[in-house]
A and B are shown apart, each in its own frame.
Chain A
Amino acid sequence: METLKLQKRVPVSAMLDSKIVIPAIGSAFKKLDPRLMIKNPVMFVVEVVAALTTVIFIKNVITGGSDLGFAFQIILWLWFTVLFANFAEAVAEGRGKAQAESLKKTRTESQAKLLTGSDSGDKSYRMVSGTSLKVGDVVLVEAGDNIPSDGEVIEGVASVNEAAITGESAPVIRESGGDRSAVTGGTQVLSDWIRVRITAAQGSTFIDRMIKLVEGAERQKTPNEIALNILLVGLTIIFVFATVTIPSYAAYAGGSISVVVLVALFVTLIPTTIGALLSAIGIAGMDRLVRFNVLAMSGRAVEAAGDVDTLLLDKTGTITLGNRQATAFRPVRGVTEQELADAAQLASLADETPEGRSIVVLAKEKYGIRGRDMAELSATFVPFTAQTRMSGVDAGGSSVRKGAVDSILAYVNGGASFAVASGNTVRAMQPAAMSDTAREIQAISDEIAKGGGTPLAVARDGKLLGVIHLKDIVKGGIRERFAELRRMGIRTIMITGDNPMTAAAIAAEAGVDDFLAQATPEDKLQLIRDEQAKGKLVAMCGDGTNDAPALAQADVGVAMNTGTQAAREAGNMVDLDSNPTKLIEVVEIGKQLLMTRGALTTFSIANDVAKYFAIIPAIFLAFYPQLEALNVMKLASPQSAILSAIIFNAIIIIALIPLALKGVAYRPIGAGALLGRNLLIYGLGGIIVPFIGIKAIDLVVTALHLV
C-alpha cells in the first residue's frame, strides 16, 4: 500500500517536462501584466524598476549615452528576473492544470433521469440535461449511467466506479442511509440502481471544486503567506532606504552612480528569490496533497496541518485492522476447550461477520473442527439483533448462543434483566445474583477486557460453556508511526467506543499517547474543544454524519470520500482513498510546505551578504580605490561584478524551482535538530553559495567579454 502510494508521486524530472514547461514560458510573459504582478509585491517592484531603467535606456540610446552595452545587459537580466519568477509560478500552476484537464473530461454533458413520481415506488422519469438539475431534485441512476451531479443516495444500493476522482478502478458500494450515502457527479453506476437527491448545483460540484483547486484559480494567500509577504515588503522598503541614499553619499565623496547600477544593487538586495518562488511553493504544496489523493479545500488547511499538535484517530480502521479476530477459547471449569470450540463454531457457522468467520477459522486451525453444513444439520440460524445482542443456532433440539457477556448471562438466567444494556454492564451486575459459573465467566471476561480483548460468552442449552477471546489486531508498523509523531511533537489520541479497560490495553499496545473510551460524537467534539482551549491545533478524520460537527470544529478535518455528504462538507480536506492513516502524511505535507518557505526565505536573505561584497566595492571604486580590499571574490571589473551579481540573482530562481516544487524533505527528528540541519544547509549555504556562484559567473562574463 505504502509503496503503491509513493509511486503515485511524480518524480521531479517529470515535473519539468515539456508539456508543462512550454505553456509556462508563454504564461510567464502574460503574467507581466502589472495588474497580476501587483499580487506579488516584491516582483512588482522589480518590474517597475526594470520598466523605469528601460525607459532611461531608450532615452540614452536616442541621446547617445555611454556604456549602453552594459546597461542593456543589466536591464535584460532585470526582465529575466521577473520572467523567471512568473515562470516558476506558471510551472507550478501547469502541473495542477494537467490534472484539472483529466478531471474536466469527466464533466462531459450528461443526461439525467429526473424522477417525476412522488412516491418511492414510482420510477417514472423524464430525461433532462444534467446541467439543468437543481439542488433538491431527485434523479434515478441505473447501471451504466453517469451520476449527473453530487448527491445523497436516498434509496437503493449500487456499485459505483469512482476512478474519475480517486484513480482507483475497484468499484465502491453506495447505499442509502448509513455512512456511504454520498455520490459524486461524474462517477458511474456499474450495477443496480439508486435514487439520488441532488445536493450541489452545476459549477459547485465536488469535481468542479477539485478542478478549481488544482488549477489554483481560486487560490488565496494563506495567513502565513500574508505574514511572509509583509516581511518581504518590509525588507524591500529597508533596501529602498539603503539604496536611494547612496547617490547622496557618493556625491559627498565626489562621485556619481548611474541609475542602472543603483537599480542592479537594489534588485539583488531585495528578497527576489523567495519573492519569486513563494506562490509556486504554495501551489506545489496543495499539489502534493492532490498527488497523495487528498484534496484540501484551502491552502489555509494545508498550513494548519503543519501546525497540528493533537491527532484524533479512530481506533477501528486506523489503529487496528477493521475487524476483531478470535484468538482463544476460554472454557469454564468442567468444560473442555474442544467442547467450547465446537459449540462456538456451530454458533458461528451462519455468522457472516468477520468476527464470526474468524471463530470458524480458529476452531478449524486449532482444534481441527471441520466446517459443517447448516442444511444437513437442519439447523436454524438465530441472527444478531440489537435487542438480544447475541446470535446462534438452533439444531436438533439444542440451542447454542454466543454474544455479549451480559446478554448471555441474562439469557442463561432465563431472561432476568439484571444486566443493564450499557458498555459497563459486567460491573453493574449484582454478584449475589450470579452463580459460580457466571462469576467465573465474569472473571475470564474481565481478564480478557483488561488485555484489550473483547469477550464473547458461549452457552448451550442454558449452560455456560466459556468465553471466546476476540482481539483487536493493531496494524503493523503503526507503533513506529506514533513514535515518529511524538518526535514531531504531535500527541495522538485514540477514539474508540470500547470500554476504558479495553481501550487502555489497545492504546498501550499501539503506543498512542492517550485515548478516549466509550466515545460519543459529543465527547469527541468536547475533546477537540478542550484541546483547542489549551491552544492546540487538532486534526481528525471522520466519515459519518455524526462526525460532521467534530470535523467542522477540528482545525484540520479530513473527511473520507466514502463518507456522507455532511461529513465531506464539514471537513476542510477530503481523502479520496478513504484511508484514515493518511492523516499522518497530511501533517507531514503541511510541515514540508512551511519548511520550504522558511528555507528559501533564509536562503534568499543570506544571499545578500555575497551580493554586497560584489557590488559595494564595484560602485564606489571610482572614488575610493581603497575599497578594492572588499572585493574578496576578486571579480574582474566593477561592471562584471555588477553584471555577475544580477545574473546570479536571476538564475538562482530557475535553479531553485525544482526545490520549491518538490519541497524540502521533512524528517521527524525533533524541531531542534531540524532547525540545526536546515540552518546549516539554507542559512550557511545561503551565505556561501552566492560567493561561488557570482565568482563563476564573473569568470564566464569575463571570458565571453560581455563587459
Chain B
Amino acid sequence: MTMIGWIQIALYCAVVLALVKPLGGYMTSVFNGERTFLSPILRPVEAGLYWIGGVDEKREQHWLTYTVAMLLFHVVGFLGLYAIMRLQAVLPFNPAGQSAVAEDLSFNTAISFITNTNWQNYGGESTMSYLTQMLGLTVHNFLSAAAGIALAVALIRGFARSSMRTIGNFWVDITRCTLYVLLPICIVYTLFLVWQGMPQTLGAYVDATTLEGAKQTIAVGPVASQVAIKMLGTNGGGFFNANAAHPFENPTALSNFIQMISIFALGAAMTNVFGRMVGNPRQGWAILAVMGVLFIVGVAITYGAEASGTTGLNALGLTGGNMEGKELRFGIVASSLFAVITTAASCGAVNAMHDSFTAIGGMIPLINMQLGEIIVGGVGAGLYGMLLFVVLAIFVAGLMVGRTPEYVGKKIEAREVKMAMLAILVLPLMYLGWTAVAVVLPSAVASMANAGPHGFTEVLYAFTSATGNNGSAFGGLTGNTFFYNLTLASSMFVGRFFMIVPAMALAGSLAAKKSIPASAGTLPTTGGLFVGLVIGVILIIGGLTFFPALALGPIVEHLAMTASTLF
C-alpha cells in the first residue's frame, strides 16, 4: 500500500461526499414535483409524455397499484428486449451483421437488463447489433435505474408520510427520474467520455493492419452514450466484453476516476433524499455513514490483500503486489478501489479480473454483494435494501430502550418485520441454493475454470452477483450454458422482484401509519451508536448466512495460499 494509493482513495471519497448534498437536494425537488432549473425545457416534454400515456400526474397510487404498474412496465420491457435480440439480424443498425441471439441467452440477457443486473453471458462486440445495444440495452439501463430510484422514493415516502394510503405515482416517478436526473447528467457525461477518447459512432467496425502485418478488426460503436448510463445507473453491462478494462470503454485515468464517481453519485445522494424527505437530513447522513464505514473497511482489506500479493510469489522475490488480471494503466489501487465500488454498488462494471485477485481481495467484492448491495448499492435499490436492514436493526435493538421500536417516527411492528424478513430471505435462498445445486452437478462443475475452493468461489460469485443484481463476473466461469443461463436468470429475477414487492408492501404499511414525534425516550437514529448498531446487525445477520460458504471458498483458499498451495 502506498501513500499515493490512499490519497487516491481519500480523494475519491471526498468527491462522492461533496456531491451528496447538491444532488440530493436536486433529486428531492424532482421527486416532490417541484420546479427545477431544468423545468423550462423539460416540463413541456414531461407533460407531453403524460398526455401520450394518458397519465394523470396528480393521481397517486396505493402501494399495490404502484407495484403492479412497476411489474407491468417490466413485463413489457422484457418482451420488447427479448424481441429485439431475437430479431436483430433483420433489423437495421447492424453493420457487423450479427445474427439473432440464442433463445436461452436472449432470455438471460433480457432478465439481466430489466433487473438492473447486466450480467453478460455474451461479448457485446461479438453478439449484439448497434440497435440492440442502443434501443435494447441502453434504454433498459435508463429504465431499470429509474425504476430502482422510483421504488426507493416510494419507500422513502412511506417513512415520510403519515396516515396516507398512497405512496406516489409510478409513471410520474419513473418519468421524472429519467427526464430530470438521468438524461441531463448522461448527456454531459457522454460528451466528457467522448472527449476522453471513447468512440461514439454508428459506423462499422474498423479493419486495421497491425505492425506485424496482421489484419485486426477493431470494434467501435455508440460506446460513450451507453457507458455513461451504465455507470450512473449502476447497470454495469459493458459495450465490450472486457468491460471497463477495455481501452475504448475506459480510455484514461481520469475517465476511470469519473466512472468510479458516477457509480456512487446517485446512490449516495439517495441517502440525502431520504434525510430531506423524512424531515431530518441527519437521518440520511447516518445511513451514509453506515455505508461509508463498511465501504472503507472493504477497500482497505482488498487494497491490502492485493498490495501484499501472494506468499508464493513473494517467496520468489516477486514482490510489489498482485498484478495478475489488472490493467497496467490502472494498477493495484484503482483496480482494488474499482472492484469494491462496483460490488458495493450494484454496478458490476469491472476494470480488472476479479478472478485473478487474491482470495481475500476477491472475497470482499463477494461479501459486498452477499450483504445485499447496501453499501451505497444500486441506484435506489441500495437505499431500500439498506432500509430493510435498518428496520431489522431497529427492531432487534430498539426494544432495548424499552419502547416498541420506531424509526423516523414510524413504529416497527409485525408487518414491517415480516416484509423486511421476506425481502432479506430470498437472497441466501438464491445464491446459497443454486450454488449448492451447481457444485454437485457435473455439467455445471465443468464450467469452472479452476478446481477446489477457487472454482467453488467462481460459482458462488456468479449466483451472488446475479441475485444481488450486480452483474459483475468473477471470471473463469463459462456462464453461457443452458443451466447457467436459466439459473442465473432466475436468481436475477427473484433477487430483484422478490425483494421489491415486500419493500413496497412495507412502504404502503408505513405510509398508512401515524408519525410519532420523537422524544427523549425515542431511540436516537442519527448518532454513532446507531451507525455502529446497524453495522453490527448487517455483519451478524447478513454475515452469518454465508460464513460457511465463504469458509469453503475464499477463506480456505487464502489459508492454503499462505502455505503456497494454489488451486
Interfacial residues, chain A to chain B (CB-CB below 8 A): 223-224, 226-228, 230-231, 233-235, 237-239, 241-246, 248-253, 269, 303, 306-307, 309, 486-491, 533-536, 590-592, 594-595, 597-599, 601-602, 605-606, 608-609, 612, 616-617, 620, 624, 626-627, 629-630, 664, 666, 670-672, 674-676, 678-679, 682-683
- Given A230-B418, A679-B529, residue A626 in contact with residue B560 (CB < 8 A): yes
CB atoms of B432 and A242 under 8 A apart: yes
Which one, A244, A307, A624, contacts B404 given CB within 8 A? Answer: A307
Q: Please tell me which stretch of B303-311, B479-487, B533-541 contacts chain A, meaning at least 4 of its Cβ atoms lie within 8 angstroms of it.
A: B533-541
For the complex, what is the distance from the CA of A237 to the CA of B418, rounded to whole Å?
Answer: 13
Give the shortest distance, in Å, between A198 (CB) and chain B (any CB): 39
CB atoms of B524 and A671 under 8 A apart: yes
Q: Verify if B402 is at the interface (C-beta below 8 Å from A).
A: yes
Give the shortest distance, in Å, between B442 (CB) and chain A (any CB): 11
CB atoms of A627 and B556 under 8 A apart: yes
For the complex of A and B, list the 6 residue pairs with the smallest distance between their C-beta atoms, beginning with the closest: A489-B521, A598-B399, A591-B402, A234-B421, A489-B519, A626-B559
- Given A252-B439, A608-B540, A672-B529, residue A488 in contact with residue B520 (CB < 8 A): yes
For the complex, what is the distance from the CA of A239 to the CA of B399, rounded to whole Å?
Answer: 23
- Can you list, as one digit per residue, whether each of B489-525 has a CB less than 8 Å from chain A (1) or not (0)? 0000000000000000000000000111101111110
CB atoms of B417 and A227 under 8 A apart: yes
Give the shortest distance, in Å, between B420 (CB) and chain A (any CB): 8
Q: Verify if B49 is at the interface (C-beta below 8 Å from A).
A: no
In the complex, chain A residues whose CB is within 8 Å of the CB of B433: 241, 245
For the complex, what is the distance from the CA of A237 to the CA of B119, rounded to whole Å?
Answer: 28
For the complex, what is the distance from the CA of A582 to the CA of B548, rounded to whole Å?
Answer: 51
Which one, A536, A606, A666, A672, contacts B516 given CB within 8 A? Answer: A536
CB atoms of A605 and B396 under 8 A apart: yes
In the complex, chain B residues whose CB is within 8 Å of the CB of A679: 397, 400, 529, 532-533
Which one, A241, A309, A535, A671, contacts B162 given CB within 8 A? Answer: A535
In the complex, chain A residues whose CB is within 8 Å of the CB of B452: 253
- Can you list, as one digit per residue, whether each of B424-450 has a CB less than 8 Å from chain A (1) or not (0)? 110011001101110110000100000
In the complex, chain B residues whose CB is within 8 Å of the CB of A248: 435-437, 439-440
For the complex, what is the distance from the CA of A620 to the CA of B409, rounded to whole Å?
Answer: 46
For the complex, what is the distance from the CA of A447 to the CA of B556, rounded to whole Å?
Answer: 84
For the complex, what is the distance from the CA of A355 to the CA of B529, rounded to whole Å?
Answer: 54
CB atoms of A612 and B547 under 8 A apart: yes
CB atoms of B432 and A602 under 8 A apart: no
For the complex, what is the distance from the CA of A213 to the CA of B440, rounded to whole Å?
Answer: 55
- Can you list, as one digit per residue, whether each of B391-429 has a CB less than 8 Å from chain A (1) or not (0)? 010011111111110000100111011100110110011
Q: Can you give 25 contacting A-B residue pairs, CB < 8 Å?
A: A224-B399, A224-B413, A228-B399, A233-B421, A239-B544, A241-B432, A245-B432, A248-B435, A253-B452, A253-B453, A253-B456, A533-B514, A612-B547, A612-B548, A617-B551, A620-B556, A626-B559, A671-B401, A671-B523, A672-B523, A672-B527, A674-B400, A675-B397, A675-B401, A679-B532
In the complex, chain A residues whose CB is within 8 Å of the CB of B187: none
For the complex, what is the distance from the CA of A536 to the CA of B559, rounded to whole Å?
Answer: 55
CB atoms of A253 and B399 under 8 A apart: no
- Given A230-B421, A674-B400, residue A249 in contact with residue B519 (CB < 8 A): no
Give the tally of cross-chain contacts (CB within 8 A): 222
For the complex, what is the distance from the CA of A536 to the CA of B563, rounded to whole Å?
Answer: 62
In the complex, chain A residues whose CB is within 8 Å of the CB of B521: 309, 488-490, 670-671
- Given A253-B552, A616-B551, residue A238 in contact with residue B401 (CB < 8 A): no
For the complex, what is the distance from the CA of A251 to the CA of B533, rounded to whole Å?
Answer: 37
- Can you list, as one digit per residue, whether each of B6-44 has a CB less than 8 Å from chain A (1) or not (0)? 000000000000000000000000000000000000000
Q: Chain B residue with minimal CB distance to A247?
A: B436
Q: Verify if B204 is at the interface (C-beta below 8 Å from A).
A: no
Which one, B453, B540, B545, contacts A609 given CB within 8 A? Answer: B540
CB atoms of A489 and B400 under 8 A apart: no
For the complex, what is the distance from the CA of A337 to the CA of B414, rounded to whole Å?
Answer: 68
CB atoms of B517 and A535 under 8 A apart: yes
CB atoms of B398 and A234 under 8 A apart: no
CB atoms of A683 and B519 under 8 A apart: no
Among B429, B456, B540, which residue has the most Cβ atoms of chain A within 10 A? B540
CB atoms of B541 and A235 under 8 A apart: yes
- Given A489-B522, A612-B547, A675-B397, residue A234 in contact with residue B424 (CB < 8 A): yes
In the complex, chain B residues whose CB is within 8 Å of the CB of A666: 402
For the complex, what is the distance from the CA of A245 to the CA of B428, rounded to whole Å?
Answer: 10
Q: Verify if B139 is at the interface (C-beta below 8 Å from A).
A: no
In the complex, chain A residues whose CB is within 8 Å of the CB of B559: 624, 626-627, 629
For the complex, what is the distance from the CA of A666 to the CA of B401, rounded to whole Å?
Answer: 9
CB atoms of A594 and B404 under 8 A apart: yes
For the complex, what is the distance from the CA of A620 to the CA of B524, rounded to whole Å?
Answer: 42
Q: Verify if B93 is at the interface (C-beta below 8 Å from A).
A: no
CB atoms of B398 and A598 under 8 A apart: yes
CB atoms of A227 and B395 under 8 A apart: yes
In the complex, chain A residues whose CB is within 8 Å of the CB of B409: 535
Q: Verify if B300 is at the interface (C-beta below 8 Å from A).
A: no
Q: Chain A residue with minimal CB distance to B520?
A: A489
Which one, B403, B540, B556, contacts A591 given CB within 8 A? Answer: B403
In the complex, chain B residues whose CB is within 8 Å of the CB of A237: 425
Give the shortest distance, in Å, between B512 (CB) and chain A (any CB): 13
Give the shortest distance, in Å, between B91 (CB) and chain A (any CB): 43
For the complex, what is the distance from the CA of A595 to the CA of B400, rounded to whole Å?
Answer: 4
In the complex, chain B residues whose CB is within 8 Å of the CB of A234: 417-418, 421-422, 424-425
For the complex, what is the distance from the CA of A491 to the CA of B421, rounded to whole Å?
Answer: 34
Give the shortest distance, in Å, between A510 (CB) and chain B (any CB): 19
In the complex, chain B residues whose CB is within 8 Å of the CB of A675: 397, 400-401, 523-524, 529, 533
CB atoms of A230 and B414 under 8 A apart: yes
In the complex, chain B residues whose CB is within 8 Å of the CB of A620: 551-552, 556
In the complex, chain B residues whose CB is within 8 Å of the CB of A602: 396-397, 400
In the complex, chain A residues whose CB is within 8 Å of the CB of B435: 245, 248-249
Q: Chain A residue with minimal CB distance to B521?
A: A489
Q: Verify if B546 is at the interface (C-beta below 8 Å from A).
A: yes
Q: Verify if B296 is at the interface (C-beta below 8 Å from A).
A: no
CB atoms of A223 and B414 under 8 A apart: yes
For the complex, what is the distance from the CA of A246 to the CA of B435, rounded to whole Å?
Answer: 10
Give the shortest distance, in Å, between B502 (CB) and chain A (any CB): 11
Q: Chain B residue with minimal CB distance to A309?
A: B519
Q: Verify if B555 is at the interface (C-beta below 8 Å from A).
A: yes
Among A590, A598, A629, which residue has the most Cβ atoms of chain B within 10 A? A598
For the complex, what is the distance from the CA of A597 to the CA of B453, rounded to whole Å?
Answer: 41
Which one, A226, A249, A307, contacts B403 given CB within 8 A? Answer: A307
Q: Verify if B1 is at the interface (C-beta below 8 Å from A).
A: no
- Given A269-B544, A486-B520, A674-B400, residue A249 in contact with residue B436 (CB < 8 A): yes
Other A-B pairs, 18, CB within 8 Å; known A231-B395, A238-B428:
A224-B413, A234-B421, A238-B425, A241-B425, A249-B456, A250-B552, A251-B440, A252-B440, A252-B445, A309-B516, A489-B519, A598-B399, A598-B400, A601-B399, A609-B544, A671-B523, A672-B529, A675-B401
CB atoms of A242 and B428 under 8 A apart: yes
Give the shortest distance, in Å, between B384 (CB) and chain A (any CB): 18
In the complex, chain A residues whose CB is within 8 Å of the CB of B413: 223-224, 227
- Given A252-B456, A683-B536, residue A627 in contact with residue B551 (CB < 8 A): yes
For the complex, what is the distance from the CA of A239 to the CA of B456, rounded to whole Å?
Answer: 20
CB atoms of B404 and A231 under 8 A apart: no
CB atoms of B404 and A306 under 8 A apart: yes
In the complex, chain B residues whose CB is within 8 Å of the CB of A246: 548
Give the shortest distance, in Å, between A690 (CB) and chain B (any CB): 13
Give the shortest distance, in Å, between B261 (CB) and chain A (any CB): 35
CB atoms of A671 and B522 under 8 A apart: yes
Q: Chain A residue with minimal CB distance to B565?
A: A626
Q: Verify if B191 is at the interface (C-beta below 8 Å from A).
A: no
For the complex, what is the distance from the CA of A608 to the CA of B396, rounded to whole Å?
Answer: 15
CB atoms of A626 and B556 under 8 A apart: yes
Among A239, A594, A601, which residue has the most Cβ atoms of chain B within 10 A? A594
For the complex, what is the distance from the CA of A230 to the CA of B515, rounded to whole Å?
Answer: 23
CB atoms of B402 and A242 under 8 A apart: no
CB atoms of B417 and A231 under 8 A apart: yes
Give the shortest distance, in Å, between B451 (CB) and chain A (any CB): 10
